[in-house]
Amino acid sequence: MRCPLRSNERAGLHARQFSANLFPSSTMWHGRFTQDTSSLVQQFGESVSYDWRLFPHDIAGSIAHARAQQNAGLLTADEFQKIESGLREIEKEILDGKFEFKTSLEDIHMNIEAELTRRIGPTGAKLHAARSRNDQVATDTRLYCRTQIGEIMTAATKLQYALLDRAEKFAASMMPGYTHLQRGQPVTAGHHFLAYVEMLERDKSRLADCLKRLNICPLGSGALAGSTINLDRQAIAAELGFDGVTSNSMDAIADRDYIAELLFTISLCGAHLSRLSEDLILWCTAEFSFVQLSDAHTTGSSLMPQKKNPDVCELTRGKTGRLIGNLLNLLTNLKGLPLTYNRDLQEDKPPLFDSVDTLKLVLAVNAEMVAALEMNEEKCCAAASDPMLLATDLADYLVRKGVPFRQAHELVGKAVAESIRTKTPLDALDLAAIDPAYGPDAAEVFSVERALTARTNPGAPSVANVRAEISRWQKQLA
Ligand code: ARG
């Protein structure tokens, strides 16, 4: 059986082969059984068609385990050498796409161990002492998550840089800020882009937090109750770069919290990018025309020659549904499981791998698209020049004249109603005729530049603030 690989998988991993029934499935447990596993059950239960990607972690874990076996006097130095070099050979063959995986051997763990034993003989059969596939898969999966968290953080930082670059270019481009998708108050495009830099930074800090909890080694927990052969767990953990060892063998085997946390963090990051997508989709409508996405990041229509569609944004929004689905998939799996290992847990990997692959691709494509987008500054500025955007500033003006805010709100509301009724722009009304509280200087409120410049408090969108934030981010991300 050949397995089609995703394009974003490491180079050299194409041409991976899968075959069925080359080894009788009873190889690993033939003592107890008299019949081979039915081929339909093999097909049903195999996971090697997707968990093969755990191979670098499985091999690292096996080498650390074998070294501890040697230190405990279970292997001679020569036997350890044989195991280590056998495993390294297998690793290289997998990387080169030359290794043949057998679905009859269920998963990556049994494929590697069986092939090692086939190559080096009885020494290979010593490797599984004092471990189980249960602590093995938990270890491999934690190591996989650790590596992937690093890659996701790097991809998120690249997107932050792209947003920062656009924030810098459009730091002073005025545009309306919206609530309820109704024009609210003036902001700048730079401030808007920086909002997404903030979200991604929180995503990264959630990833770092998740990493802290998952970087604890479960190896040595055995099937569920440790082992009568006590290997040096601390040494194994240290070799694998873990910060410590798990404290309860049953919890360590049953625990998939780290996957749930990672899937949640990925889902939330997806939700942030889905919101960015929604902004961009709206902004590139003819009705808004605030943004111009590059040809390279949009698609045409096979029928309507004029179309330029924001497919990257729409797919980002759509794929986020899958990310959230993957989180629910795992939580639903976990909620009914008694301690400790249950085979249901094998189903943790398809959603995990899918979410990790999807988010990395979403981050990369969005970084490319954001870096190339251009704001239509004239359109943004025209929209930001709507005097209604300064109605709140007019109320603030009255407050500064001593009018209580609620009363000021009502007075400005009356002016707005008058503007709508008489079809007169708010800034062209005779405000003093509406209320004597309006002085002759009230007209000065109607300058968007002034309105923005006045917003100097931390977090507010004055151009000076936006520029200061950009240099803060540049330092922080470097
Ligand atoms: N392929 C299994 C998984 O991913 C490995 C553990 C199997 N353990 C067992 N007792 N069947 O969960």
Report all structural domains of the chain as residue ranges with CATH numbers, in order of start.
2-129 (1.10.275.10), 134-382 (1.20.200.10), 386-446 (1.10.40.30)
Among candidate residues 85, 205, 294, 301, the one labeled active-site is 301
C-alpha 343 – ligand 1 centre gap (Å)? 6
Q: What is the DSSP string of 82-136?
A: HHHHHHHHHHHHHHTT--EEEGGG-SHHHHHHHHHHHHHGGGGGGTTTT--HHHH
57 as an active site residue: the answer is no
Q: pLDDT value at position 3?
A: 42
Q: Which residue has the tokens 């946390």?
A: 261
84 contacts 60 by C-beta, under 8 angstroms: no
| Rounded to 5°, angle at Cα 384 from 380 and 386 | 130
Query: For residue 137, how far is its CA from the centre of ligand 1 (angstroms)?
Result: 7
With a 6 Å cutoff on the Cβ, whether 346 touches ligand 1 is yes
Cβ proximity of 265 and 210 under 8 Å: yes
Residue 69 near ligand 1, beta carbon < 6 Å:
no
134 in contact with ligand 1, CB cutoff 6 A: yes
Q: From the alpha carbon of 223, which atom of ligand 1 is closest? A: 10
Whether residue 374 contacts residue 288, with contact meaning beta carbons closer than 8 Å, is answered with: no
* CA–CA separation, 449 and 459 (whole Å): 17
Query: By alpha-carbon position, which residue is closest to atom 3 of ligand 1?
Result: 346
Give SS3 for 474. helix
Q: Which atom of ligand 1 is nearest to the CA of 133?
A: 6
CA of 344 to the centre of ligand 1 (A): 9
Three-state SS for 141-164 is HHHHHHHHHHHHHHHHHHHHHHHH
The pLDDT value recorded for residue 31 is: 82
Looking at residue 14, what is its pLDDT?
42
Residue-level pLDDT, tens digit, the chain, 478 residues? 334 334 334 433 444 566 654 444 456 777 889 898 899 999 999 999 999 999 999 999 999 999 999 999 999 999 999 999 999 999 999 999 999 999 999 999 999 999 999 999 999 999 999 999 999 999 999 999 999 999 999 999 999 999 999 999 999 999 999 999 999 999 999 999 999 999 999 999 999 999 999 999 999 999 999 999 999 999 999 999 999 999 999 999 999 999 999 999 999 999 999 999 999 999 999 999 999 999 999 999 999 999 999 999 999 999 999 999 999 999 999 999 999 999 999 999 999 999 999 999 999 999 999 999 999 999 999 999 999 999 999 999 999 999 999 999 999 999 999 999 999 999 999 999 999 999 999 999 999 999 999 999 999 999 999 999 999 999 999 9
Our answer on whether the CB atom of 116 is closer than 6 Å to any ligand 1 atom is no
Ligand 1: does its nearest atom lie under 6 Å from the Cβ of 47?
yes
| Structural contact between residues 185 and 392, judged by C-beta atoms closer than 8 angstroms | yes
What is the predicted pLDDT for the residue at 32?
86
**DSSP code of 388?**
G
133 Cβ below 6 A of ligand 1: yes
Q: State the amino acid at position 150 in one-letter form.
A: G
Ligand 1 proximity of 341 Cβ (cutoff 6 Å): yes
- Which single residue is written with the structure tokens 């899968």? 18
Atom of ligand 1 nearest to the CA of 51: 4
> Does ligand 1 come within 6 angstroms of the Cβ of 343?
yes
CA 187 to centroid of ligand 1, rounded, Å = 54
3-state secondary structure of 35: coil
- How far does the centroid of ligand 1 lie from the alpha carbon of residue 3, in Å? 21
Residue 180 appears among annotated catalytic residues: yes
- What gap in Å lies between CA 458 and CA 438, rounded to an integer? 29
pLDDT value, residue 235: 98
